[in-house]
Chain A
Amino acid sequence: MIATLEPAQATRKSPSEDAIVASLEAVNKNYGAVRALRGVNFRVRAGEIVALLGPNGAGKTTAVKLLLGLMPPNAGKVRVFGGDPTDPENRLRTGAMLQVGRVPETLRVREHIDLFSTYYPNPMPASEVLAAAGLEKLRDRKYGELSGGQKQRVLFALAICGDPDLLFLDEPTVGLDVEARRLLWEEIRHMVSRGKTVLLTTHYLQEADALADRIAVINQGEIIAQGTPAEIKALTSGKKIRCITRIGVNELRQIPGVKEVREDREAVEIHAAEAEPVVRELLARDAALAGLEITRAGLEEAFLALTQDAAQLSPN
């Protein structure tokens, strides 16, 4: 009897390769003719923070709802804790923060938390939940009297009050000011330090970078890149310079700042950290240079959408 206990404890503790707590395998999800997810493969391992990064409408929320068992996929497998996400036992071990249009407005913050805590067998004490979500001073306020950011914090509180092992946070920091965002980030890190696993969605690269152990970039229903924040950032940094020139490939490689050169039909593609010094040098060496184009390197489309979003939301 004792022998069977040990391996169970071991798998629980180590965030090892095989401890996958949630996964999508070759998942397709359609809404009528709209293909929200296309062949998505995605894994969350125990004890890590994974960010699903993508612009609005990329399929992030759909992925979260599938993992919560709120709807079935059209094809592929969705697994949570090795089982079906609709298994009610799984719901005892997961917490979810979803984007909600309207929450009952006449209930007080502490009443909302009291009700949700009741659903779980071993909830966190209400005082801890209030502290974690930064709601101590607002505990007696009615939900309808809160600001947008404060409402987000209540939804976060409802997600964590059951002390779940796996936390799904769909756009948790939308509408939060800088201060509140930082507080929430700290709290998410704190959850993970206690052995919890977090999947969050965001359209801020900065947020994914600050929090996540791993980032999966999703665009138009497809995962287009996965990796550590450093790997993902490397894909986005730098510029791609395309032009038709007489300068030879070997000579191009020696221009300071050039990382990579590739021939593409009659033109060349040059990857560089910064475009301007390289272009200046190119024009100095080849007055007849033609067809000059400068674009962002890699992940163009998705990140253009991301940066546009961020520009709209930030004050500057």
Chain B
Amino acid sequence: MSTAAMTLNSVRIERSPRHTATIYWKEAKYEFLKNLRLRVYTASVLSFPLMFYVLFGLVLNAKQAIGGTGVPTYMIATWGTFGVMGASLFGTAAGLASDRGLGWLQVKRASPMPPFAYFAAKLVTSMIFSTIIVLALFALGVAFGGVRMPLTEFARLLGTLVAGSLPFSAMGLALGYFAGPNSAPPMINLIYLPMSFCSGLWVPFMFLPHVVQQIARVLPPYHLSQLALGAVGAGWREPSAAHWGALIAFTMICLGAARIGFQRDQEKMYG
């Protein structure tokens, strides 16, 4: 009875589809409520992108344009990417690292909860927070920055950014499996902030030094922000498919790392 037996964990319990759906729904609902009421989470994840957008996009540079696109519109895409990334990384990595390291995940694993429901809840919650952030940025832009765009364009921008929650949630899972409950938040910041700077989320990409621009091409937020900028007609002259490809590859690598962490946890005790 070793590894082989432990993988039995993934054998399904016979449940009606309705019952399974209820479990997934409640798991996601309470994950969302849990984070919504967590001031550390909402304060940093929601208020930072909005604050920076107001400051750099509406107060300071509102009348300027970058490559023909007005700054208020341009920065919905970049601060939106920043917001999606923060919501997804903190939502998954910090929660998972704490649940793992402090025993809560063991209580869940000892229960008949379908393991995937736990991860799905984290992903859905990240996507909902991402949606809220993008909608809030857009509302601010329309109200105070004179942002105007056709509905289809906005739908594309929103859809792109919310889909972008997936690679960063995957990255959050990988981090959550390899970080401790206390080291996770600083570790996330250590990755999150330099990555967003180098990807052109703080300073528009074209104003970055050449070296940094080269580094950006291997960073996932660069690819997501370029797709978002593409949706409002301000993208760099690279095909979308290349960006999507990079994001998908990145997601796969992170999921692979998370899977290794998951299996390692199934086999050993922690705490």
Contacts and interface: CB of A to CB of B under 8 A. Distances in A.
A120 B15 CA distance: 10
A63 interface: no
Interface string A51-90: 0000000000010010011111100011000001011110
Interface of B: 1-3, 5-6, 8-9, 11-13, 15, 19, 22-23, 26-27, 30, 33-35, 37-38, 98, 101-104, 106-107, 109-113, 181, 267-269, 271
B79 to A, nearest CB: 26
Contacts of A103: 104, 107
A78 B1 contact: yes
Interface of A: 31, 62, 65, 68-73, 77-78, 84, 86-89, 91-92, 94, 96, 98-104, 106-107, 111, 114-116, 118-121, 142, 155, 158, 162, 168
A84 B13 contact: no
A81 B2 CA distance: 19
Given A115-B26, A119-B112, A72 B2 contact: yes
Given A104-B34, A115-B30, A91 B111 contact: yes
A94 B2 CA distance: 22
Given A119-B113, A162-B112, A88 B12 contact: yes
A119 B269 contact: no
Given A92-B13, A96-B107, A115-B26, A101 B112 contact: no
A99 B3 CA distance: 25
Contact of A92 (B12, B37, B112): B112
Contacts, number: 111
B22 A118 contact: yes
Given A72-B5, A84-B8, A102 B268 contact: no
Contacts of B6: 69, 71-72, 86
A71 B269 contact: yes
Contacts of B104: 100-104
At the interface, is chain B mostly helix, strand, loop or mixed? helix
A47 B142 CA distance: 67
B30 A107 contact: yes
A205 to B, nearest CB: 26
Given A88-B11, A111-B30, A115-B30, 13 more contacts: A65-B269, A78-B1, A87-B11, A88-B8, A88-B12, A96-B107, A100-B104, A106-B35, A107-B30, A118-B26, A121-B19, A142-B37, A162-B112
Contacts of B35: 106
The 5 closest A-B pairs by CB, nearest first: A101-B102, A106-B37, A102-B102, A100-B103, A91-B112
Given A118-B23, A121-B19, A86 B8 contact: yes
B101 to A, nearest CB: 7
B98 A102 contact: yes
A69 B267 CA distance: 10
A86 B9 contact: yes
B248 to A, nearest CB: 31
A104 B29 CA distance: 14
Contacts of B2: 72
Nearest to B9: A86
Which residue, of B9, B15, B101, has the highest number of chain A Cβ atoms within 10 A? Answer: B9
24 contacts: A69-B110, A70-B106, A71-B267, A71-B268, A72-B2, A72-B6, A78-B1, A88-B12, A91-B110, A96-B107, A96-B110, A96-B111, A98-B107, A100-B107, A101-B102, A101-B181, A101-B271, A103-B107, A104-B34, A107-B33, A114-B26, A115-B27, A116-B111, A119-B111
Contacts of B11: 87-88
A106 B103 contact: no
B23 A87 contact: no
Contact of B269 (A31, A102, A158): A31
A158 B107 CA distance: 9
Contacts of A91: 13, 110-112
A62 B235 CA distance: 56
Given A86-B6, A121-B15, A98 B110 contact: yes
Contacts of A116: 111
A194 B240 CA distance: 63
Contacts of A115: 26-27, 30
B119 to A, nearest CB: 15
Contacts of B33: 106-107, 111
A80 to B, nearest CB: 12
Contacts of B268: 71
A86 to B, nearest CB: 5
Nearest to B14: A89
Contacts of B23: 118-119
B251 to A, nearest CB: 26
